[in-house]
Structure 1
Amino acid sequence: MILRGLGIYLPQQRLTAADIAAASDVPEAIVRGKLGIDGKTIPGPDDHSNAMGIRAARMALADAGIESRQIDVLISITEEHKEYPVWTAGIHAAHALGAEHAYAYDIGQKCGSAVLALKLARDALIANPEMNAALIAGGYRNCDLVDYADPATRFLNNLAAGGGAAVVTRDGPGFEILGAGFRTDGSFAEDVIVPVGGTREPLTAANLHRFHFTVPDPQRMKSRLEALSLDNFVAVIREACERSGVRSEDLAYVAMLHMKRSAHDTVLARIGVAGERSIYLSDYGHIGQIDPLLSLQLARDQGRLRDGDTVVLCAAGIGYVWNALCLRYRAP
């Protein structure tokens, strides 16, 4: 199964490192050096979550040379912070795109959703021989939910906005989808939350000011997560490589989500990959699950990949999940 087309939509509006420093009272040198943000995309007035995913989907379909009516299934990776609550974004996207023969559904795994969706698309085509094409599409703007004044959530100050999409087919040029590795640890499920707006505490005029990301126990989360996260990142990458018949040291490229620069560099060092075989997304920020798709498209379009190269997409999502998926490049 081949990842045949990619599409990325990025809003025109941006925040600079200086803007983030001013809003968060964190020195600009720390924003750039430690948090790894030179600038990031933020949504404009028409940049709604699913709308951005639909724009990216049109780009991916054009990139793949596929018409929307050829899509058999649409897997939406639009974040749950979207145009409307209690709303299936994938159904809306399929209709908007004219994917009249596709069934559609949403998945939610926070920043791990795109990697998971590629695995699900591959599996769907393998399990259903009558199906020939799957579309993954979605948008992300959880930057709306960041309180820059809260020091406990400074690790989320990199959250940005954008849309991403990928077309998966049975054949053609692109990226052959290989093995994957996944890990989940639900003991972190309530460590990063938006405390109001759900059934526990419905949204009211009195609590609207609390509708943003919160870390209820920052020290507990920090002490537990730091001990596990990098190990799990390395583990899923090695699992994906092993299931793909390659060594992590032989990866031509690592498409990794945006995180602080020291963590990014540590993951690369531990899997034996030189820094120039990855792009650090300091000019984009963290667009959630879109990051690995963005990184892969940048690498392809910059001519960093040769026919036969193996790459890995890797991501982590609050909750917590760690995902990795290997691809082998088949040049046009």
Structure 2
Amino acid sequence: MTSIGIEATSVYFPKGIETAEILAEKTGIPEKIIIEKFGLYEKHVADETMQASDLAIAAARGALNKIDPLSIDVVIYFGSAHKDYYVWSCASKIQYELGTKNAYAFEIMNVSASFPIALKVAKDMLKADESIKNILLVGGCKDSQFIDYENPRSRFMFNFADGGTAALVMRESATSEILESAIITDGSFHNDVRIPAGGSKHFASMETVQNRQHYIDVVDPASMKERLDPVSLPNFEKVIKQALQKSGLALQDINVLLPLHSKRSMFRELLQRLNLPEEKAVYLDHHGHMSALDPCIGLHFASQQGKLKNGDIAVAVSAGTGYTWAATVIQWKGENGL
């Protein structure tokens, strides 16, 4: 069977930086708490000149260094739903700006869970359609823009940050092989986290702007916590174990974990459940949480930092409000960085 893998990754971060000290001033939360509990020393923020599509394009140019843009067959945007415009596909802009004019383009959306799912979609497309040779996965995020630091209900999202990333998926990759995936959705959380206004339910108006309804909000934080805490870490563990089992592997085979950025206690408890030391994971405490981008960025960093060697197993794992947990297993082949 033809192996399908990630041949190259790339990342891009805007120049603007908000440190824990700056966030402490904005939120009233002590700097020490932001560093130790939120797990965040600093994060990148984009200015008004760069939108989600621009961050995605800037990142994708690096992944295309190894290939002629005209040889890309499909461009898939898996980044933030908070894009340049609503009811608008940035995939078409990305396809055009990158010069991948032989590719068709579309978007997939499952908020922060999207990267492990995008890997599965790309692999399945390549397996099902022999005419497809190369797929470019690309994501951008400007989610720092919709955080209301004066709203304590959105406190757990104060780590939201900006950036871009991309992954080139192809047949017979010399660098890696995408193995199996596992996904869980618990739709009972569908109504917990959202931007209240701007969609069809509460169309934008003077009133919605005055009421600050265009920032992300949590309907009832106490209720969500009560329902989410008992299932979140078990579901993370479950999708990781299932993806490994489907790949003929087990927890002890993991060499590198590539999770989304979360509070430090959750990160450490997940590692404890998996019996992994912190040095076997990539924790984005100088970047924050960038929607679905985190595991792809983590893979890029793991490669650049020499954390992956030939034959090693990496697991990209993430979760998105709604709530979906997803994991995809990657086997490393390359000796050099992506």
Q: TM-score scaled to structure 2, two decimals?
A: 0.96
Match of residue 229, structure 1, among 228, 232, 242: 232
Give distance in 1, aligned partners of 2:142 and 2:324.
19
Map of 1:165-204 to 2, 5 A cutoff?
165-204=166-205
1:98 aligned partner: 99
- SS of 1:45's equivalent? coil
Give distance in 1, aligned partners of 2:275 and 2:176.
22
1:274 aligned partner: 277
Structure 1, unaligned runs of 5 or more = none
2:57 aligned partner: 54
1:7 aligned partner: 10
Residue 210 of structure 1: how far off its partner (Å)? 1.8
Are the aligned partners of 2:52 and 2:142 in contact in 1 as well (CA < 8 Å)? yes
1:86 aligned partner: 87
Q: Which amino acid aligns with 2:56?
A: G
Map of 1:30-49 to 2, 5 A cutoff?
30-49=33-52
Give distance in 2, aligned partners of 1:188 and 1:315.
16
Give distance in 1, aligned partners of 2:10 and 2:48.
21
Give distance in 2, aligned partners of 1:298 and 1:130.
32
Q: Which amino acid aligns with 1:204?
A: S
1:137 aligned partner: 138
Are the aligned partners of 2:79 and 2:111 in contact in 1 as well (CA < 8 Å)? no
Residue 207 of structure 1: how far off its partner (Å)? 1.4
**Identity across the alignment (%):** 35
Q: Which amino acid aligns with 1:19?
A: I
Structure 2, unaligned runs of 5 or more = none
Q: Which amino acid aligns with 2:261?
A: H
2:108 aligned partner: 107
1:127 aligned partner: 128
Residue 79 of structure 1: how far off its partner (Å)? 1.8
Residue 280 of structure 1: how far off its partner (Å)? 1.5
- SS of 1:207's equivalent? helix
Q: Which amino acid aligns with 2:275?
A: G
Match of residue 16, structure 1, among 4, 19, 29: 19
Are the aligned partners of 1:238 and 1:271 in contact in 2 as well (CA < 8 Å)? no
Residue 101 of structure 1: how far off its partner (Å)? 1.3
Give distance in 2, aligned partners of 1:23 and 1:210.
19
1:305 aligned partner: 308
- Is 1:247 the counterpart of 2:250? The answer is yes
2:29 aligned partner: 26
Give distance in 2, aligned partners of 1:19 and 1:259.
19
Residue 80 of structure 1: how far off its partner (Å)? 2.1
Match of residue 298, structure 2, among 295, 298, 301: 295
Are the aligned partners of 1:250 and 1:273 in contact in 2 as well (CA < 8 Å)? no
Q: Which amino acid aligns with 2:233?
A: L
- SS of 1:78's equivalent? coil
Residue 206 of structure 1: how far off its partner (Å)? 2.2
Residue 78 of structure 1: how far off its partner (Å)? 3.0
Give distance in 1, aligned partners of 2:282 and 2:116.
17
Q: Which amino acid aligns with 2:158?
A: N
- SS of 1:41's equivalent? strand
Residue 81 of structure 1: how far off its partner (Å)? 1.2
Are the aligned partners of 2:42 and 2:285 in contact in 1 as well (CA < 8 Å)? yes
Q: Which amino acid aligns with 1:243?
A: K
Residue 204 of structure 1: how far off its partner (Å)? 1.1
- SS of 1:210's equivalent? coil
CA displacement, residues 94-134 of structure 1 (integer Å, 9 cap, x when unaligned)? 11111111111111100111111111011100000121100
Give distance in 2, aligned partners of 1:301 and 1:168.
18
1:155 aligned partner: 156
1:71 aligned partner: 72
- SS of 2:131's equivalent? coil
Are the aligned partners of 1:312 and 1:324 in contact in 2 as well (CA < 8 Å)? yes
CA displacement, residues 19-41 of structure 1 (integer Å, 9 cap, x when unaligned)? 11111111111111111111001
Q: TM-score scaled to structure 1, two decimals?
A: 0.97
CA displacement, residues 224-272 of structure 1 (integer Å, 9 cap, x when unaligned)? 0111100100000001111111111221100111001111111111112
Give distance in 2, aligned partners of 1:80 and 1:172.
30
Q: CA RMSD in A?
A: 1.0
Give distance in 1, aligned partners of 2:107 and 2:13.
21
Q: Which amino acid aligns with 1:139?
A: G
Q: Which amino acid aligns with 1:221?
A: M
